[in-house]
Amino acid sequence: MFRPKLPAMPQPTGTVTPPAVVVEPTTITPGTSAMPPAPVAPVPVPSRPTVQLTPGTTLALVGGGTAVVLVVGAVLVSMLLAVAITATSVAVCAVVLRSLLASDAKRR
């Protein structure tokens, strides 16, 4: 009841060999092709425009790159400054708490 039913595999009844096929080579003689050669299609030229750098565009690229570097630098410096201010405030809080705990211990 709980065993799966497997399909019965067909058993070979005897050894059957496929019939032998004889392949005869074809002879090709040069210069007597049945079909003319296919025409060679020209290589398509990419249709994207070429970029020409004039002095004005070069100046704009340099100015844009400089602006990006300055903005990224300002962001990184401000993040570093925020971390330094946070660390300083935590250190001041630790000193104040230590002082309060030490003065409370002297009173007892």
The domains of the chain are located at 74-108
Distances (CA, A) of 62 to 22, 52, 55, 58, 72: 75, 15, 11, 6, 16
The DSSP 8-state label assigned to residue 32 in this structure reads: -
Angle 102-103-104 (CA atoms, 0-180°, nearest 5)?
90
- pLDDT tens for each residue of 85-108: 999 999 999 999 999 998 877 776
Alpha helices in the chain (DSSP H): 55-107
Residue 12: CB atoms within 10 Å: 7
Residues 11-18 have a mean pLDDT of: 67
Q: What is the pTM of this model?
A: 0.45
